[in-house]
Structure 1
């Protein structure tokens, strides 16, 4: 089994990125993260960002791109990622008003299959990143989550599985990782607990309910390429939280680059 790369979803550091993108990326590299997944480029031209990443030794894994931008500017998004040398273009979220019915989901899946086919033509992979709501509705007796990945071939949407949200939805992330072996290049590596109302609280790695060590083992067996650390909302300064989470990885994953 190949070792997993350790990346960071920069949405965790969105406020720091907006204030000082270059300084934030330098900090991420100094911590020891090997790659980054973007959630916006904060006005930096692709060529300049590529030069910075090369200087820092950071791999551009891919980027979360809104459904609106995928629809309105797919070629521009693909061109930017190709300049960075990234491989993955990822739909991260579907707005509530767009996902109220199975018919709406069928239309979204069809659109995403079109994005996937075009991305494949141009040497990229199109992935979909889940939350919990893909397990709240079914299409023809299967969860929307599974319907999203039902097609194979040129129109195949591949998987960026957020294990935190899978578990929060009441499903088994280990079983789902195994189910999508070979189609799961990226695993969002995230921990959580619940508040008194049952709402999610995302935590630094090792402080919550996810069996992260078993996730690592399952991800390796499934042929995943990257564990992508993410924390939606941090209880400490986000720069501290991403450092603490990486320290957990270093202490608990023998494959990590020291």
Structure 2
């Protein structure tokens, strides 16, 4: 097992979560010791002992604590308050709770972006009281609009409390038109984690009228695809967490995860 700080976003294996012990056993057998739950509200108290049984920890996790409701399969779904997410995060032993997505319609104007930043700053204040940090994970639509000469995403970052961290999804940032190493250089030490996957970057499923869904793209392991993953890793802070994640691969998902882990381990070994 490598000593690289590698984790796995469990959304990649969402079709295998019925039997947590079987799933976590397979993850541990791959040599992965950290995972990132994609919805910490679900089965929280089942996760805690199951993770422990297989020697896994969850330093980060996702919950949509910056929204009161989200659209799921065409229906508006009410969400619990941030305090509930903080309770679940504490039970799971998270270090950082990350909001996975603020909807695209809240990234169009300065006022909308500033309201989201204010909400995240308030959450950072609350979370700090219980020893928790909070952060945000991007898709591509945060880069669709410019505000005062920079992307809505970077305008958002400029408004954040220093305690707020970023989990940069390098694939979606590239699809959003970003030079990802340059973006990481501008974001600096605020980047606590990367979401790492590869694949084609010429189709943006989050663009209006694209007609393509994110899980329809044929994503690939880190050693394959359009992104220069080596340059991206070199541009990121040395102490970040590398989170392997896929929305979809045409081949076996466990094999894609293993190939990506091998890529990261070989880079770590080569740097010694």
1:226 equivalent in alignment to 2:241: yes
Residue 143 of structure 1 corresponds to 151
Q: Measure the CA separation in 1 of the matches of 2:170 and 2:225.
A: 12
Is residue 140 of structure 2 the alignment partner of residue 132 of structure 1?
A: yes
Paired with 2:102 and 2:204, the residues of 1 have a C-alpha distance of 22
Distance across 1 between alignment mates of 2:44 and 2:24: 15
In structure 2, the CA distance between the partners of 1:69 and 1:228, relative to structure 1 (3 Å rule), is farther
User: Which residue of structure 1 aligns with residue 265 of structure 2?
Assistant: 250
- Work out the CA distance in 2 between the residues paired with 1:93 and 1:24: 25
Q: Which residue does 2:196 correspond to in 1?
A: 189
| Structure 1 residue runs without a partner (length 5+) | none
Alpha-carbon displacement from aligned partner over 1:131-187 (angstroms, at most 9, x marks no partner): 111111123332111122113546x43211111122222212112222222211111
TM-score of the two chains, using structure 2 as the length reference: 0.81
Q: Quick check: which one's helix share is greater? A: 1
SS in 2 for 1:80: helix
* CA distance, structure 1, for counterparts of residue 40 and residue 242 of structure 2: 21
Would you say how many aligned residue pairs link Structure 1 and Structure 2? 248
Q: Is the 8 A contact 1:184 1:224 kept in 2?
A: no
How far apart are residue 198 of structure 1 and its match? 6.6
Q: What is the Cα-based RMSD across aligned positions, in Å? A: 2.5
Structure with the bigger RCO (C-alpha within 8 Å, sep 6+) is: 1
Q: Which runs of no fewer than 5 residues in structure 2 stay unpaired?
A: 70-78, 206-216
User: Which secondary structure state, in structure 2, belongs to the residue aligned with residue 60 of structure 1?
Assistant: coil
Contact 1:185 1:226 in 2 (8 A): yes
Question: Are the counterparts in 1 of residues 121 and 161 from structure 2 also a CA contact under 8 Å?
Answer: no
Q: Is the 8 A contact 1:151 1:157 kept in 2?
A: no
